[in-house]
Amino acid sequence: MQTSNDALITKIYAEKLGYFKDEFVSLFTNKRQAKKMYPIINRGTWARVYTVRQILLRFLAANSGKVNVLSLGAGFDSTYFWLRKKLGEDKTTADHINWLEVDFHDVVKQKHDFIKDKEKLSSLVGAFTFVDNDLVADGYKVFTCDVRDGHILKQKFDACKVDRTLPTLLVTECLMIYMTGSESTGVYNWIRDYFTGDFVSVNYEMINPDDAFGKMMVTNLEERGCQLLGIVDCPNVEAQIKRMQAILSTGEASRLKIECLPLNTIYNTKLNGEGEKTRIERIELFDEFEEWELL
């Protein structure tokens, strides 16, 4: 719950300053005051949100038919609602998306309550049921489960008639890093075996625990009771790539593409589409360049 709240708080403040537009992100809290964040946090939050959403839009553009989007450890993420608003009146495209989220009981219950109580959210979900702490609507489903329990999730997916043959985008943000290496590999394995169509995975997590920034990051998180259990097995770019190669090597080699980039590399080389990077750099004074280069 704490990590879900942390991600939400940073997004709310960055959105308030104008780093990105998402009128739904603040609807997943009852707090009226946005907590102030440092510019380096705001810029990193924008880079994370913008990157994941650009990958999502490109995935949808590359697949004109029905698709699955699976977000594990989704927390209070508002991307589904942002996407529905962005698609606007194009209901055909919206109906092609089967959006699946998974998180722990308390998070799912709280997210359900926000959706139920706020018309701006419920109107985009449509009619839904909430049984055994699972929210199920036609194109939007939020399941209560430990993501490591693949056999349970597969039963839930089957009960909701999830089409495993469709192209599937897997989104994991700051999730696998909180598991041991064997646990995260187990999660990837059951997902790989369940979904048989074209598969795309985007994973955002911390690396490089041994440089100055990494040591400070690990210490700060451990002091808050958040252990990065997976950083031992996947501490750097090379280890991240090797993990995914091992997991996905059963597929067609000619169609397998794995790329791992540090956040500052993505920021410097990938994110100025439509002049967005230029725009956000004008929002507030930024002088944390040395720290930024370590991200």
DSSP labels, 204-217: E----TTSHHHHHH
pLDDT tier, 211 (very low <50, low <70, confident <90, very high otherwise): confident
pLDDT tier, 188 (very low <50, low <70, confident <90, very high otherwise): very high
Name the average pLDDT for the chain.
91
Sign of the CA dihedral running 87, 50, 45, 7: positive
pLDDT tier, 64 (very low <50, low <70, confident <90, very high otherwise): confident
pLDDT digits (tens, 9 = 90+) for 243-279: 999 988 765 544 678 999 998 899 999 888 789 999 9
For the chain, how long is the longest CA-to-CA vector? 52
The reported pLDDT for the residue numbered 252 is: 53
Q: Which phi and psi (to 5°) does residue 103 adopt?
A: -160, 180
pLDDT tier, 117 (very low <50, low <70, confident <90, very high otherwise): very high
Nearest to 174 by CA among 81, 77, 82: 77
Percentages helix, strand, coil for the chain, rounded to the nearest 5?
A: 55, 15, 35
Q: Is the pLDDT of residue 17 over 50?
A: yes
The reported pLDDT for the residue numbered 115 is: 98
Mean pLDDT of 127-143: 97
Sign of the CA dihedral running 241, 247, 249, 252: negative
- pLDDT above 90 coverage of the chain, percent: 76
End-to-end CA distance of the chain: 24
Mean pLDDT of 68-94: 88
Q: Is the pLDDT of residue 223 over 90?
A: no
Mean pLDDT of 147-162: 98
Range from 80-84, 92-96, 217-221 carrying the lowest mean pLDDT: 92-96
Identify which has the larger pLDDT, 187 or 254. 187
Q: And the tokens for 104?
A: 């722990």
The reported pLDDT for the residue numbered 91 is: 59
What are the residue ranges of helices labelled H in 224-262?
237-248
Give this prediction's pTM: 0.94
The reported pLDDT for the residue numbered 254 is: 45
The reported pLDDT for the residue numbered 116 is: 97
Q: Is the pLDDT of residue 179 over 90?
A: yes
| CATH-assigned architecture of domain 49-293 | 3-Layer(aba) Sandwich (3.40)
CA distance 193 to 164: 10
